Protein backbone atom coordinates (compact mmCIF):
# COMPACT_ATOMS: atom_id res chain seq x y z
CA UNK A 1 0.00 0.00 0.00
CA UNK A 2 2.85 2.24 0.94
CA UNK A 3 4.41 1.60 -2.41
CA UNK A 4 1.22 2.59 -4.24
CA UNK A 5 0.94 5.78 -2.20
CA UNK A 6 4.52 6.69 -3.05
CA UNK A 7 3.85 5.81 -6.66
CA UNK A 8 0.87 8.14 -6.95
CA UNK A 9 2.59 11.08 -5.30
CA UNK A 10 5.57 10.49 -7.57
CA UNK A 11 3.26 10.29 -10.54
CA UNK A 12 1.75 13.67 -9.68
CA UNK A 13 5.19 15.25 -9.37
CA UNK A 14 6.27 13.56 -12.54
CA UNK A 15 3.31 15.02 -14.41
CA UNK A 16 4.44 18.53 -13.51
CA UNK A 17 8.02 17.77 -14.58
CA UNK A 18 6.68 16.17 -17.71
CA UNK A 19 4.62 19.24 -18.61
CA UNK A 20 7.61 21.55 -18.17
CA UNK A 21 9.73 19.13 -20.17
CA UNK A 22 7.02 19.15 -22.85
CA UNK A 23 7.50 22.90 -23.17
CA UNK A 24 11.25 22.45 -23.60
CA UNK A 25 10.81 19.80 -26.25
CA UNK A 26 8.09 21.68 -28.15
CA UNK A 27 10.35 24.68 -28.54
CA UNK A 28 13.41 22.58 -29.26
CA UNK A 29 11.74 20.51 -31.93
CA UNK A 30 10.28 23.47 -33.70
CA UNK A 31 13.07 26.01 -33.52
CA UNK A 32 16.13 24.08 -32.25
CA UNK A 33 16.32 26.64 -29.49
CA UNK A 34 16.69 25.42 -25.93
CA UNK A 35 14.59 27.49 -23.61
CA UNK A 36 16.22 27.41 -20.20
CA UNK A 37 13.66 29.93 -18.99
CA UNK A 38 10.84 27.38 -19.29
CA UNK A 39 10.94 26.75 -15.54
CA UNK A 40 10.74 30.47 -14.92
CA UNK A 41 7.82 30.74 -17.34
CA UNK A 42 6.10 28.09 -15.23
CA UNK A 43 6.83 30.22 -12.18
CA UNK A 44 5.36 33.27 -13.91
CA UNK A 45 2.27 31.28 -14.86
CA UNK A 46 1.75 30.24 -11.26
CA UNK A 47 2.23 33.80 -10.05
CA UNK A 48 -0.09 35.34 -12.64
CA UNK A 49 -2.82 32.95 -11.50
CA UNK A 50 -2.04 33.74 -7.91
CA UNK A 51 -2.11 37.47 -8.59
CA UNK A 52 -5.49 37.18 -10.28
CA UNK A 53 -7.08 34.78 -7.84
CA UNK A 54 -5.72 35.25 -4.31
CA UNK A 55 -7.75 37.51 -2.06
CA UNK A 56 -4.82 39.76 -1.20
CA UNK A 57 -4.38 40.68 -4.87
CA UNK A 58 -7.31 40.81 -7.31
CA UNK A 59 -9.56 38.16 -5.84
CA UNK A 60 -11.15 36.92 -9.08
CA UNK A 61 -12.87 33.52 -8.99
CA UNK A 62 -10.54 30.57 -9.61
CA UNK A 63 -12.21 29.38 -12.80
CA UNK A 64 -12.00 32.88 -14.26
CA UNK A 65 -8.39 33.51 -13.35
CA UNK A 66 -7.08 30.19 -14.69
CA UNK A 67 -8.03 30.77 -18.35
CA UNK A 68 -6.88 34.39 -18.14
CA UNK A 69 -3.52 33.26 -16.75
CA UNK A 70 -3.10 30.60 -19.44
CA UNK A 71 -4.01 33.10 -22.13
CA UNK A 72 -1.67 35.71 -20.70
CA UNK A 73 1.24 33.30 -20.62
CA UNK A 74 0.47 32.14 -24.15
CA UNK A 75 0.56 35.73 -25.33
CA UNK A 76 3.71 36.28 -23.28
CA UNK A 77 5.44 33.39 -25.02
CA UNK A 78 4.34 34.66 -28.43
CA UNK A 79 5.58 38.19 -27.77
CA UNK A 80 8.81 36.93 -26.23
CA UNK A 81 9.62 35.03 -29.39
CA UNK A 82 8.55 37.90 -31.62
CA UNK A 83 10.63 40.51 -29.83
CA UNK A 84 13.63 38.62 -28.52
CA UNK A 85 14.12 35.05 -29.70
CA UNK A 86 13.39 35.68 -33.37
CA UNK A 87 16.52 37.82 -33.57
CA UNK A 88 18.52 34.76 -32.56
CA UNK A 89 17.44 32.87 -35.67
CA UNK A 90 20.44 31.14 -37.21
CA UNK A 91 22.78 31.84 -34.30
CA UNK A 92 24.51 29.18 -32.27
CA UNK A 93 22.48 27.13 -29.82
CA UNK A 94 24.64 27.98 -26.88
CA UNK A 95 23.98 31.69 -27.42
CA UNK A 96 20.27 30.97 -27.10
CA UNK A 97 20.90 28.91 -23.96
CA UNK A 98 22.76 31.78 -22.37
CA UNK A 99 20.11 34.27 -23.48
CA UNK A 100 17.30 32.25 -21.96
CA UNK A 101 19.22 31.70 -18.72
CA UNK A 102 19.61 35.47 -18.51
CA UNK A 103 15.91 35.96 -19.28
CA UNK A 104 15.18 33.53 -16.43
CA UNK A 105 17.14 35.76 -14.04
CA UNK A 106 15.14 38.75 -15.20
CA UNK A 107 11.76 36.97 -14.85
CA UNK A 108 12.66 35.83 -11.35
CA UNK A 109 13.58 39.36 -10.36
CA UNK A 110 10.33 40.87 -11.63
CA UNK A 111 8.24 38.14 -10.02
CA UNK A 112 9.99 38.85 -6.72
CA UNK A 113 9.46 42.57 -7.20
CA UNK A 114 5.74 42.28 -7.91
CA UNK A 115 4.66 39.39 -5.70
CA UNK A 116 7.39 39.31 -3.03
CA UNK A 117 10.00 36.71 -2.21
CA UNK A 118 8.14 35.00 0.63
CA UNK A 119 6.55 31.64 -0.14
CA UNK A 120 2.82 32.03 -0.81
CA UNK A 121 0.12 29.49 -1.47
CA UNK A 122 -2.34 29.59 -4.35
CA UNK A 123 -5.84 29.24 -2.92
CA UNK A 124 -7.12 26.46 -5.15
CA UNK A 125 -10.53 24.92 -4.57
CA UNK A 126 -8.95 21.46 -4.40
CA UNK A 127 -6.24 22.06 -1.80
CA UNK A 128 -6.37 19.97 1.35
CA UNK A 129 -9.24 17.71 0.17
CA UNK A 130 -8.89 13.97 -0.15
CA UNK A 131 -10.36 11.29 -2.36
CA UNK A 132 -10.51 7.75 -1.02
CA UNK A 133 -10.04 5.26 -3.86
CA UNK A 134 -10.38 1.76 -2.45
CA UNK A 135 -7.84 1.44 0.35
CA UNK A 136 -5.85 4.40 -0.97
CA UNK A 137 -6.32 7.98 0.21
CA UNK A 138 -5.26 10.38 -2.50
CA UNK A 139 -5.01 14.14 -2.32
CA UNK A 140 -7.54 15.78 -4.63
CA UNK A 141 -4.71 17.95 -5.95
CA UNK A 142 -2.79 14.84 -7.04
CA UNK A 143 -5.82 13.43 -8.82
CA UNK A 144 -6.42 16.76 -10.55
CA UNK A 145 -2.78 16.98 -11.67
CA UNK A 146 -2.79 13.49 -13.15
CA UNK A 147 -6.18 14.06 -14.78
CA UNK A 148 -5.24 17.40 -16.31
CA UNK A 149 -1.97 16.00 -17.64
CA UNK A 150 -3.74 13.08 -19.31
CA UNK A 151 -6.34 15.40 -20.81
CA UNK A 152 -3.69 17.80 -22.04
CA UNK A 153 -1.64 15.00 -23.57
CA UNK A 154 -4.63 13.64 -25.44
CA UNK A 155 -5.55 17.15 -26.55
CA UNK A 156 -2.04 17.82 -27.79
CA UNK A 157 -1.95 14.49 -29.58
CA UNK A 158 -5.07 15.35 -31.55
CA UNK A 159 -3.86 18.91 -32.08
CA UNK A 160 -0.63 17.71 -33.68
CA UNK A 161 -2.20 14.94 -35.72
CA UNK A 162 -5.48 16.58 -36.86
CA UNK A 163 -5.46 20.36 -36.58
CA UNK A 164 -4.11 22.33 -39.52
CA UNK A 165 -1.97 24.49 -37.25
CA UNK A 166 -0.58 21.45 -35.45
CA UNK A 167 0.45 19.85 -38.74
CA UNK A 168 1.99 23.14 -39.87
CA UNK A 169 3.99 23.16 -36.63
CA UNK A 170 5.18 19.61 -37.26
CA UNK A 171 6.15 20.51 -40.80
CA UNK A 172 8.13 23.55 -39.81
CA UNK A 173 9.87 21.59 -37.07
CA UNK A 174 10.95 18.92 -39.52
CA UNK A 175 12.30 21.22 -42.18
CA UNK A 176 11.88 24.95 -41.94
CA UNK A 177 12.88 25.71 -45.50
CA UNK A 178 10.60 23.10 -47.04
CA UNK A 179 7.76 24.25 -44.81
CA UNK A 180 8.36 27.82 -45.96
CA UNK A 181 8.17 26.73 -49.61
CA UNK A 182 4.85 25.06 -48.86
CA UNK A 183 3.45 28.39 -47.79
CA UNK A 184 3.66 27.94 -44.04
CA UNK A 185 4.47 31.22 -42.29
CA UNK A 186 7.41 29.72 -40.38
CA UNK A 187 8.14 32.78 -38.26
CA UNK A 188 4.56 33.09 -37.05
CA UNK A 189 4.33 29.35 -36.46
CA UNK A 190 7.48 29.50 -34.35
CA UNK A 191 6.02 32.32 -32.29
CA UNK A 192 2.85 30.28 -31.87
CA UNK A 193 4.88 27.36 -30.60
CA UNK A 194 6.45 29.65 -28.04
CA UNK A 195 2.95 30.76 -27.13
CA UNK A 196 1.85 27.14 -26.78
CA UNK A 197 4.87 26.41 -24.60
CA UNK A 198 3.99 29.45 -22.49
CA UNK A 199 0.43 28.21 -22.06
CA UNK A 200 1.63 24.73 -21.10
CA UNK A 201 4.08 26.33 -18.66
CA UNK A 202 1.17 28.22 -17.11
CA UNK A 203 -0.81 24.98 -16.68
CA UNK A 204 2.23 23.28 -15.15
CA UNK A 205 2.67 26.27 -12.86
CA UNK A 206 -0.94 26.18 -11.67
CA UNK A 207 -0.71 22.44 -11.06
CA UNK A 208 2.56 22.84 -9.20
CA UNK A 209 1.17 25.69 -7.10
CA UNK A 210 -1.83 23.58 -6.12
CA UNK A 211 0.53 21.16 -4.36
CA UNK A 212 2.14 23.65 -2.02
CA UNK A 213 3.62 27.10 -1.67
CA UNK A 214 5.51 28.89 -4.42
CA UNK A 215 8.28 31.47 -4.43
CA UNK A 216 10.18 33.09 -7.32
CA UNK A 217 12.99 30.54 -7.16
CA UNK A 218 10.77 27.57 -8.07
CA UNK A 219 11.82 28.28 -11.63
CA UNK A 220 14.96 26.31 -10.78
CA UNK A 221 12.69 23.27 -10.89
CA UNK A 222 13.08 23.74 -14.62
CA UNK A 223 16.56 22.24 -14.37
CA UNK A 224 15.11 19.02 -13.00
CA UNK A 225 12.46 19.04 -15.70
CA UNK A 226 15.23 19.63 -18.17
CA UNK A 227 16.99 16.52 -16.90
CA UNK A 228 13.67 14.74 -17.37
CA UNK A 229 13.43 15.94 -20.97
CA UNK A 230 16.90 14.66 -21.75
CA UNK A 231 16.30 11.32 -20.02
CA UNK A 232 13.24 10.81 -22.16
CA UNK A 233 14.86 11.96 -25.36
CA UNK A 234 15.14 15.60 -26.21
CA UNK A 235 13.58 15.38 -29.61
CA UNK A 236 10.40 13.54 -28.77
CA UNK A 237 7.18 14.72 -27.12
CA UNK A 238 6.14 11.36 -25.58
CA UNK A 239 9.76 11.01 -24.43
CA UNK A 240 9.50 14.26 -22.50
CA UNK A 241 6.45 13.10 -20.60
CA UNK A 242 8.00 9.70 -20.02
CA UNK A 243 11.19 11.26 -18.70
CA UNK A 244 9.18 13.50 -16.40
CA UNK A 245 7.32 10.50 -15.03
CA UNK A 246 10.55 8.52 -14.57
CA UNK A 247 12.16 11.34 -12.60
CA UNK A 248 9.00 12.06 -10.64
CA UNK A 249 8.41 8.42 -9.66
CA UNK A 250 12.06 7.85 -8.89
CA UNK A 251 12.21 10.70 -6.39
CA UNK A 252 9.90 9.53 -3.59
CA UNK A 253 11.24 5.98 -3.84
CA UNK A 254 14.83 7.20 -3.72
CA UNK A 255 14.19 9.36 -0.68
CA UNK A 256 12.41 6.45 0.98
CA UNK A 257 14.88 3.66 0.37
CA UNK A 258 18.25 5.38 -0.12
CA UNK A 259 20.32 7.45 2.33
CA UNK A 260 19.30 11.08 2.38
CA UNK A 261 22.47 12.44 0.76
CA UNK A 262 22.24 10.15 -2.23
CA UNK A 263 18.51 10.49 -2.88
CA UNK A 264 18.77 14.09 -4.06
CA UNK A 265 21.35 13.33 -6.70
CA UNK A 266 19.52 10.39 -8.26
CA UNK A 267 17.84 12.28 -11.14
CA UNK A 268 21.12 13.91 -12.15
CA UNK A 269 23.04 10.67 -11.80
CA UNK A 270 20.50 9.01 -14.06
CA UNK A 271 20.78 11.93 -16.47
CA UNK A 272 24.55 11.60 -16.60
CA UNK A 273 24.40 7.85 -17.15
CA UNK A 274 21.77 8.21 -19.87
CA UNK A 275 23.89 10.83 -21.61
CA UNK A 276 26.94 8.60 -21.50
CA UNK A 277 25.29 5.40 -22.66
CA UNK A 278 22.31 6.60 -24.70
CA UNK A 279 23.19 10.16 -25.62
CA UNK A 280 19.89 10.97 -27.25
CA UNK A 281 17.60 9.69 -24.54
CA UNK A 282 15.34 6.69 -24.14
CA UNK A 283 13.27 7.53 -27.20
CA UNK A 284 16.01 8.71 -29.52
CA UNK A 285 15.30 10.60 -32.71
CA UNK A 286 18.79 11.63 -33.72
CA UNK A 287 21.32 10.15 -36.07
CA UNK A 288 25.03 10.59 -36.28
CA UNK A 289 26.82 11.68 -39.43
CA UNK A 290 29.93 9.79 -40.43
CA UNK A 291 32.86 11.19 -42.31
Question: Where do contacts with other proteins occur on this chain (CB under 8 A)?
Answer: 32, 34, 84, 87-91, 93-95, 97-99, 101-106, 108-110, 112-113, 117, 176-177, 216, 223, 226-227, 230, 234-235, 261-262, 264-265, 268-269, 271-272, 275-276, 279-280, 286-289, 291
CA separation for the pair 140, 210 (Å, rounded): 10
Burial class of residue 177 in the structure, from the number of CB atoms within 10 Å of its CB (0-12 exposed, 13-18 middle, 19+ buried) = exposed
Considering only CA atoms, which of 193, 280, 288 is closest in space to residue 243?
A: 280
Closest to other proteins by CB, 4 or 286: 286
Between 101 and 140, name the residue whose CB sits nearer to other proteins.
Answer: 101
Largest CA-CA distance found in the chain, in angstroms, rounded: 63
Residue 110 CB, shortest distance to other proteins, in Å, is: 8
Contact between residue 69 and residue 206 where contact means Cβ atoms under 8 Å apart: yes
170 burial (CB, 10 Å; 0-12 / 13-18 / 19+) is: middle
Q: How far is the CB of 191 from other proteins (least distance, A)?
A: 17
Q: Pick the closer one to other proteins by CB: 71 or 112.
A: 112
CB of 286 to other proteins, least distance (A): 6
In the complex with other proteins, which residue's Cβ is closer, 75 or 95?
Answer: 95
What is the closest distance, in whole angstroms, from the C-beta atom of residue 12 to other proteins in the complex? 23
Q: In whole angstroms, how close is the CB of 98 to other proteins at the nearest point? A: 5
CB nearer other proteins, residue 134 or residue 261: 261
Phi-psi category of residue 128: left, alpha or beta, with phi > 0 → left and psi -120 to 50 → alpha: left
Integer-rounded Cα radius of gyration of the chain: 19
Residue closer to other proteins (CB basis): 62 or 89 = 89
Minimum gap (Å) between residue 55 Cβ and other proteins: 25
- State which residue, 55 or 291, has the beta carbon closest to other proteins: 291
Taking the complex as a whole, how short is the minimal distance between the CB of residue 223 and other proteins, in angstroms?
7
All residues at 6 or more sequence positions from 243 whose CB lies less than 8 Å from its CB, including other chains: 17, 18, 21, 227, 228, 229, 230, 231, 232, 233, 281, 282
Contacts of 40 (CB under 8 A, 6+ apart): 103, 104, 107, 108, 111, 219, 222
Amino acid sequence: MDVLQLFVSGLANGCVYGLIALGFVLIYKATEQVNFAQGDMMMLGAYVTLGLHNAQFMGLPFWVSVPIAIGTMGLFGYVLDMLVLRRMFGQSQIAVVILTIALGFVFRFFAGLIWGHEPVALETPFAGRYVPIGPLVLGLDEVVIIGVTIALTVGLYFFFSRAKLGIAMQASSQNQLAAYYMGIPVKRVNSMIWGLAGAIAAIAGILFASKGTIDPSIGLLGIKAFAAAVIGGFGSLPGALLGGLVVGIMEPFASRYITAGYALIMPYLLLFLILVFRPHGILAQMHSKKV
